[in-house]
């Protein structure tokens, strides 16, 4: 079991580590000696959001069709494991931290950069359809309710601009008519989608290399709260909904993932304590080196 766990976790964190090392080397070099490139990878990340991730979503849903009529418990559970932690966290107070800042980090986890590859390696490629559903749901709520929390005027229709939503709708709608699609369409989307996951991991490493952890005590306390709230939310959802073993494993890991890097970027954009959110996100991802193997081990043994 230990060797299996290493084979699941090490490849994911190895790619993150490569991005971290390259990002750290880049930021440590004198400005005059750096190559004329966009060191913050903004263009690459934009291409991932607009092209590679939607291609991954589309091809995965075509290859692993999801029956919405029978998958409704997973869809409801995927939304609840975001909403329930937010409701709990809004009722808590952490000194020096706004309630919306506290709630954002606990609601929206790193389901893309770390979640997708870990779930694939831990639970199998045949779960890819369900994994993608959780990923799309997280993005949908993040760009609607999440933005509304940060700015009451910004988030109402922002989700309509998210290409992941439209890729998911296309994938769901065409999954039963796969034979009608030319082979080159599926092959092209598969090739583009294969870029998404390694690039997400690499970009996460670069992003982590660009930040420093401050407010250490507060960040540690908040991330421990997130883990506790995530566990409580999972137990409530698992008790209430008729979920299969496969779905329970995916949900258990999803609620224990570190906070999404996107939380920091959005908090920076809307001036919602970005420095504190950066510390929470960075420390949460560092802590995940320990917490994620433990969660995967427990899900494989007890669920």
Share of the chain above pLDDT 90, in %: 58
Share of the chain above pLDDT 70, in %: 93
The per-residue pLDDT for 33 is: 55
Across the chain, what does the average pLDDT equal? 89
CB 206 within 8 A of CB 22: yes
Structurally, how many domains does the chain consist of? 1
The per-residue pLDDT for 37 is: 46
The per-residue pLDDT for 38 is: 44
The per-residue pLDDT for 35 is: 53
Segment 97-131, tens digit of pLDDT: 999 999 999 999 999 889 999 999 999 989 999 99
The per-residue pLDDT for 189 is: 95
In this predicted structure, the answer to whether residue 64 has a pLDDT above a threshold of 70 is yes
Cite the DSSP H helix spans in the chain.
Answer: 2-28, 42-47, 53-63, 68-90, 99-107, 116-123, 128-141, 147-150, 163-174, 183-209, 216-240, 245-255, 261-269, 274-302
Going by C-beta distance under 8 Å and a sequence separation of 6 or more, which residues neighbour residue 1? Answer: 297, 300, 301
208-235 mean pLDDT = 92
Residue ranges making up the domain that contains 223: 2-302
User: pLDDT class for 264, splitting at 50, 70, 90?
Assistant: confident
CATH of the domain at 25: 1.20.1530.20
In this predicted structure, the answer to whether residue 90 has a pLDDT above a threshold of 80 is yes
């Amino acid at each position: 079991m230990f060797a299996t766990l290493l084979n699941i976790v090490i490849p994911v964190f190895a790619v993150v580590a490569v991005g971290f090392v390259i990002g750290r080397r880049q930021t440590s070099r004198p400005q005059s000696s750096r190559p004329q490139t966009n060191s913050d990878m903004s263009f690459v990340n934009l291409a991932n959001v607009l092209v590679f991730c939607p291609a991954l979503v589309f091809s995965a849903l075509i290859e692993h069709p999801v029956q919405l009529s029978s998958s409704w418990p997973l869809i409801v559970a995927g939304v609840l494991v975001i909403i329930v932690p937010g409701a709990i966290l809004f009722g808590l107070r952490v000194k020096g931290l706004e309630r919306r800042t506290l709630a954002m980090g606990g609601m929206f986890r790193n389901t893309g950069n770390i979640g997708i590859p870990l779930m694939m390696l831990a639970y199998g490629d045949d779960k890819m359809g369900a994994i993608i559903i959780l990923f799309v749901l997280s993005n949908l709520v993040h760009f609607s309710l999440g933005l509304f929390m940060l700015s009451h005027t910004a988030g109402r229709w922002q989700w309509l601009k998210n290409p992941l939503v439209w890729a998911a709708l296309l994938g769901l709608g065409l999954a039963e008519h796969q034979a009608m699609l030319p082979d080159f369409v599926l092959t092209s989307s598969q090739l583009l989608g294969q870029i998404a996951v390694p690039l997400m991991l690499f970009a996460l490493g670069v992003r982590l290399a660009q930040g420093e952890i401050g407010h250490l005590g507060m960040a540690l306390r908040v991330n421990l709260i997130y883990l506790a709230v995530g566990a409580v939310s999972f137990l409530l959802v698992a008790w209430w909904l008729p979920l299969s073993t496969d779905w329970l494993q995916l949900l258990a890991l999803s609620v224990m993932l570190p906070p999404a890097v996107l939380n920091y970027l959005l908090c920076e954009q809307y001036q919602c304590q970005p420095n504190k959110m950066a510390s929470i996100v960075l420390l949460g991802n560092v802590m995940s080196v320990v917490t994620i193997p433990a969660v995967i081990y427990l899900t494989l043994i007890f669920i």
